[in-house]
Amino acid sequence: MRRINIIYAGRMKEEYYRQAAAEYIKRLSADFKIEHTEIKEEHSLKKEADNILLKLQKLGKTYKIALDREGMRMSSEKFAGLLYGEPAVSAQPLVFIIGSSHGLAENIKQAADLRLSFSDLTFPHSLFRVMLLEQIYRAYTIENNKSYHK
């Protein structure tokens, strides 16, 4: 079973976002173990970065994807290829890093194996976690030739 860890700053307060996230995690549970690692949102990007680096050290060898508005954009098909291709497959777990409303510190961006952007738009962080899970699920359906992806 493949492992995915999502490291994010701040709490998911809204019940409807928690329910949506839980639904995608349930749909993915046959192939993926998805873990959430919440860190406290700080006023200092450096402090958040230190907390993220501590979490990353505990995980050991990983393939780190920083969600960054300035990162690379890709189609859902290419994203599926990323999740199911090398080097992401050999590095367990695959780690997605979502910064706080202040963004991500430069050293976290530099530590990432890939910087990925979903859009130039800004999204509420709780909604973005759901969007990330949906894209992981979409990648799963693409890879497994299921009818969800159109």
- Give the residue among 84, 86, 76 at the shortest CA–CA distance from 134: 76
Confidence class of residue 48 from pLDDT cuts 50, 70 and 90?
very high
Confidence class of residue 148 from pLDDT cuts 50, 70 and 90?
confident
pTM for the full model? 0.92
The pLDDT of residue 86: 77
SS3 content of the chain, % helix, strand, coil (to 5): 40, 25, 35
Environment class of 30 (CB within 10 Å of its CB; exposed 0-12, middle 13-18, buried 19+): exposed
The pLDDT of residue 149: 59
The pair phi, psi for residue 80, each rounded to 5°, is -60, -40
Q: Distance (Å, rounded) from C-alpha 124 to C-alpha 76?
A: 21
Q: Which residue do the tokens 């009818």 mark? A: 147
- What is the tally of helices (H) and strands (E) in the chain? 5, 5
The pLDDT of residue 63: 92
Mean pLDDT over residues 12-38, rounded?
A: 93
Task: Say yes or no to pLDDT of 128 above 70.
Answer: yes
Mean pLDDT over residues 29-51, rounded?
A: 92
The pLDDT of residue 150: 61
Mean pLDDT over residues 136-143, rounded?
A: 94
The pLDDT of residue 80: 93
pLDDT digits (tens, 9 = 90+) for 54-111: 999 999 889 999 999 999 999 999 999 998 887 667 767 899 999 988 889 999 999 9
**Structural domains of the chain in order of their starting residue, each with its CATH number:** 2-143 (3.40.1280.10)
Q: Please, what is the Cα angle at 1 between 134 and 112, to 5 degrees?
A: 60
